[in-house]
A and B are shown apart, each in its own frame.
Chain A
Amino acid sequence: MILIVAEHSGGQLAKATLEMVTAARESGREGPITLLVLGHGTADVANAAAAVADQVLVADLPALAQYNAELWAAATAQIAQEGEAHTVIIGGSRSGREFAPRVAVKLDAPYLEDAIALRANGAALQAQRYTYLARVTETVEAEAPVIVVTVKPGSFAPAQAAAAAGEQYDVELDLPALRVEVTGKSVEKSSRVALTEADVIVTGGRGVGSPENFSAYVEGLADRIGAGVGATRAVVDAGWRPYAEQVGQTGKTVQPKAYVALGVSGAVQHLSGMGKSKYIVAINKDAEAPIFKVADYGIVGDVNQIVPALIEAARK
């Protein structure tokens, strides 16, 4: 069987889960597609999961109310072993890429990380992934009784519901004791469309000048055209914007239809998070800024002049 660990939050099945189901269907690997739902109070998630999977295994336990790498790894490995899974698919989120290697070690399995394409090659499983800060696409392959894969968010189309809803089963787990205690949590919520779901993103860099300008220009333009808001690391480090908005190597990877970069230099670490956008727009006063090399449309100019004009023009 193909075991997929469902991603969900706030009682909702994440789009990433539907993408993983597509990855499983496209992989050409055989056997029923099984979704594993770990969490607490997950009835709605399990029902949504049943619509796309052949079967759903549910571990609805108070101990699983909060994600924890060691719990998730132990649960996933146990179910993979009991169900004799030959393929384990996990989301390529921060947490997914954190616990998946532990699953691979527990199962003595090879690990194909952050796959953007997946297909069976005889007995082997072949994956494509980005390397060298997303400048290279590499094809990797592994052959073993069980293989662990993480799937990069946004790389597969979300699966449509299957003909018949999958059966749901409760599972029993042997969970390890918690060793990392969470002593505080700060959740960064944005009222705007989530970056990874947005069709258009307006991102501000240090070139916008100040937090006030960021609101006026970046948020101003985003609100006008119904876009999500992104930021560079420089802006996040300066405390102008929350980390949740950061795009790049250490932030989010995004792939919108249009990415509008205002006062962004285009450092490789930033490009690695947005370079796959369909159209890239750059406004920068320095004609030599590296962002122009990847831009479809570029304006050499001062954001203080161009962006207000853009907001005004978009009003028409």
Chain B
Amino acid sequence: MKILTLVRQVPDAEARVKISGGHVDLEGATLVIDGMDEYGVEEALRLREGGAAVEEIVALAVGPKRVEDALRTALAMGVDRAIHVETDEKLDPIALSRVVTQVAQAEGAGLILVGGQEADWDSQALGAATAERLGWPQLTWTNELKVEGDTLTGRHDVDDGNESFRASLPAVVTTQQGLNEPRYPTLPNIMKAKKKELRKDTLDTYGTAPTVRVVGSEIQTRARLNKMIDGKDPQAAAEQLLELLRNEAKVLA
């Protein structure tokens, strides 16, 4: 089985988001692999290390030149090779799933791993849209995964709790926190990764265009009262807080 893991590059979670000209401006932001995708990269490596018949692990990224860095990280973690579809076009998940689908078909992938929610676009759509295009089942919000032969078993979160599942490959799995603890690339592996293949590709061959237009973005700020109550005298602090909640905020009876 060949595993395709999708890698997106997003601003570091702690980084400040700024807007210029009505759009999010990433200039100067620290960019990292999307944490949710990192669980997918780690899981692919663990499936192989755990004895599943994994022929090859390929990382795929679609985006501008800088996205290469995220692929280098995946290579240094241990994936075998990487494909970079280089474009400055901002593709929504429905459009992006066209590219992923074609790469998966060309590569003969049997399992696709992708983060459950994007840390930049807050979208959960890419895995499902890709699964639909390929005609494959999908398992979302997975926090436990096992592959034996063609059988996929594991556990994932659903609306009201969680479920254990069984399905046959090929399939799309979306990953999340709790599935594993991603490894840090070691220096020797970072060196080795430099020699691994990182194939460049252009978007034109995939016949896709954005289906959603971003009209504008605004930073969400809500003016907060920021009233600090001295906690040295717990009784007094408690009473003051209740008084504020009852009479100022009017949220308690």
Contacts and interface: CB of A to CB of B under 8 A. Distances in A.
B234 A309 contact: yes
A130 B220 contact: yes
Contact of B218 (A136, A180, A267): A136
Contacts of A299: 228-231, 237, 241
B66 interface: no
A182 B155 CA distance: 9
Interface stretch (B54-62, B81-89, B102-110, B162-170): B162-170
30 contacts: A69-B128, A70-B137, A98-B128, A99-B128, A102-B132, A104-B94, A104-B125, A111-B94, A131-B121, A131-B122, A131-B217, A132-B11, A132-B122, A134-B122, A136-B219, A136-B220, A139-B217, A140-B213, A142-B211, A142-B213, A179-B137, A185-B163, A186-B163, A292-B228, A296-B226, A298-B226, A299-B231, A309-B234, A309-B235, A312-B238
A140 B129 CA distance: 19
Given A136-B17, A141-B212, A295-B226, A258 B166 contact: no
B242 A280 contact: no
Could you tell me the dominant secondary structure of chain B's interface residues?
mixed
B165 A298 contact: no
A276 interface: yes
B62 to A, nearest CB: 17
Interface in A185-209: 185-189, 199-200
A85 B81 CA distance: 44
Residue of A73, A131, A294 contacting most chain B CB atoms (<10 Å): A131
B22 to A, nearest CB: 9
Interface string A61-72: 000000101100
B187 interface: no
Interface residues of B, number: 78
Could you tell me the dominant secondary structure of chain A's interface residues?
mixed
Interface in B110-150: 116-117, 119-126, 128-129, 131-133, 137-141
Interface of B: 11, 13-14, 17, 19, 24, 92-94, 97, 116-117, 119-126, 128-129, 131-133, 137-141, 153, 157-168, 176-178, 211-220, 222, 224-232, 234-235, 237-239, 241-242, 244-245, 249, 251-252
Interface of A: 9, 67, 69-70, 73, 93-95, 97-102, 104-106, 109-114, 126, 129-142, 144, 179-189, 199-200, 225, 233, 237, 243-244, 249-250, 257-258, 267-269, 272, 275-276, 278-281, 283, 292-302, 305-306, 308-310, 312-314
B213 A141 contact: yes
B115 to A, nearest CB: 11
A244 B159 CA distance: 9
B7 to A, nearest CB: 19
Given A105-B94, A142-B213, A188 B161 contact: yes
A154 B237 CA distance: 32
A301 B133 contact: no
Contact of A243 (B93, B126, B162, B231): B162
Contact of A281 (B153, B220, B245): B245
Nearest to B98: A105
| 9 tightest A-B CB contacts, nearest first | A301-B231, A184-B164, A309-B238, A110-B211, A101-B128, A102-B132, A101-B125, A101-B129, A258-B251
A137 B220 contact: yes
Given A111-B94, A310-B241, A300 B228 contact: yes
Residue of A109, A133, A257, A297 contacting most chain B CB atoms (<10 Å): A297
A101 B92 CA distance: 11
A301 B237 contact: yes
A111 B213 CA distance: 11
B160 A110 contact: no
Contact of A306 (B19, B124, B228, B237): B237
A163 to B, nearest CB: 32
Given A250-B176, A309-B237, A112 B212 contact: yes
Nearest to A184: B164
B225 to A, nearest CB: 4
B79 to A, nearest CB: 24
Contacts of A126: 215
Contacts of A109: 211
Contact of B97 (A105, A136, A137): A105
Contacts of B122: 114, 129-134, 272
A237 B178 contact: yes
Nearest to A287: B228
B231 A110 contact: no
A226 B92 CA distance: 42
Contacts of B235: 309, 312-313
Residue of B117, B153, B163 contacting most chain A CB atoms (<10 Å): B163
Nearest to B245: A258
Residue of A70, A130, A268, A309 contacting most chain B CB atoms (<10 Å): A309
B227 A296 contact: yes
Contacts of B252: 200, 225, 258
B177 A250 contact: yes
A131 B243 CA distance: 35
A278 B248 CA distance: 13
Nearest to A279: B249
Contact of A104 (B129, B160, B165): B129
